[in-house]
Amino acid sequence: MTTSTESASLSRLEMWALVICQPLAQLSNMALLPSLGAMRADLGLSYAELGWIVAAFGITRLAVDLPAGNLASRWNPRSVLIAALALSAFGSGAGILATNGLQIATVRLLIGVGSAVAQAMLLAWIVGGAGRAGRGRALSLSEAFFSAVGLVVPALGGLLAGTFSWRVAFVLGAIAALVGLLAILLWTRASSAASAVGLSHSTQPTDDRLRPVGWFDLRAGGKVLLASYVSTFGVFFCRNGMLNSVVPVLGAERFSFTPFEIGSLFSVINAIGIAAVLLGGRCADRFGRYRVLAPGVVLLALSQGLLLTVHDPLTYIVVGLMQGVACFVNPLPTIVMGDALSPRLRARGIAVYRAVCDVAILSAPASMGLAIQAAGFSAAEALNFLVSASVLGGVWLLYSASRATSALGVRLPGR
């Protein structure tokens, strides 16, 4: 486990370069979402073909997450990140010229690989390079910037697609990846990236005793690491299942909200969420990461439970805004994970974290859809609350067990 003496290797310029690069490898995916219907009509795709094209990005990320952890353990994350951004730029550029569904699916596969590898390298670099004292602030800034880009890019992509074509999404993606590539080349150092994952500048481990590092070594993170993974699943399942999938449909079908009204509500939710994320990171640095995680998950479970009380447009709006407040917990699992692992283990730890994220992202909408199909919106709301309550119970049990271990003389990260 890490200690409180862990120092930062990132300069302020490097930190901002990494924060800015977070969404750039997958920006074309964000920009394409509003134009999927136009793309289907233009290329004459069936709904089944469109479904596979949409799924190609997520499935590829899930398949690449764990191998990406090995890359950061063997090579300098900066070099791997440069290659990943270049691959994303190439894939987006190829998307501009694609003429059929197979080509689009292949393009999204390439972008998915680039995005998965880039996310793994960026997180490993930020988590390790920010140092223990600044980890919460760096990760909350990263999460907030990603959310801010998510506010702007879909609207911009849809606006430009209406004027030009759905292919403008890939133009934006290629430009974004190239901007990220230049930022890494011009504003970061290889030595900083190497230090963040416990490598020397020559990409060899800084301590020969730590050279043989494998996946089973993640057991060193103990109950704290497991709690971070459990809470990660809860955060992404609730966000991508209920908030991003069910809440918009609920507003449209039960309360007859227009797309503009739902979009406006989500803009406010996201704005509140950005502020909550920044507050969560600061509280983690101030009060202790693991101490703040359990209350954060309580807030998440409470926000999901309140969805069961929605019965009119007013409660729909109020409970929707509470989903933004619950974003307080979003950066906490990653911060706790960073504290639980030594630098040499963080790359693999982050790979598992990314895999957990993508499993939640892929399973949540399908689970919600099946629940609605079987028993209506109330079943989806109940399922979502059950998941969040189970996550809360798991985190609380692990936290209690870690406190008992700490009482026996083993130091607990974040305390």
Instruction: Look at residue 3 in the predicted model and tell me its pLDDT.
Output: 44
Round the CA-based radius of gyration of the chain to a whole number and report it.
Answer: 21
- From 25, 6, 225, select the one nearest 121 (Cα to Cα): 25
Overall pTM surpassing 0.85 (yes/no): no
Which tokens is 278 given? Answer: 């920044």
Specify the amino acid at residue 168: V
From first to last of its 415 residues, the chain has per-residue pLDDT tens of 444 456 667 888 999 999 999 999 889 988 887 788 888 889 998 878 887 888 888 888 888 988 888 887 788 999 999 999 999 999 999 999 999 999 999 999 999 999 999 999 999 999 988 887 788 889 999 989 998 888 888 888 888 888 888 999 999 999 999 999 999 999 999 999 988 888 765 455 544 444 557 788 898 888 899 999 999 999 998 887 777 667 777 787 788 887 667 777 877 888 899 999 999 998 988 887 778 998 999 999 999 898 888 888 999 899 889 988 999 999 999 999 988 888 888 888 988 998 998 888 888 877 877 887 788 878 888 888 899 999 999 998 988 887 766 655 544 444 4
Instruction: Look at residue 208 in the predicted model and tell me its pLDDT.
Output: 43
CA 378 to chain centroid, in Å, comes to 27
Instruction: Look at residue 151 in the predicted model and tell me its pLDDT.
Output: 80
Q: Which residues pair with 205 in a beta bridge?
A: 199
Are the CB atoms for 303 and 325 separated by under 8 Å? yes
> Which residues, 6+ apart, have CB-to-CB distance to 298 below 8 Å?
392
- From 59, 128, 154, select the one nearest 366 (Cα to Cα): 59
Integer Cα distance of 55 and 317 in angstroms = 30
DSSP secondary structure string, 122-161?
A: HHHHHHHHSHHHHHHHHHHHHHHHHHHHHHHHHHHHHHHH
- From 261, 263, 27, 239, select the one nearest 145 (Cα to Cα): 27
> Which domains does the chain carry?
10-200 (1.20.1250.20), 218-415 (1.20.1250.20)
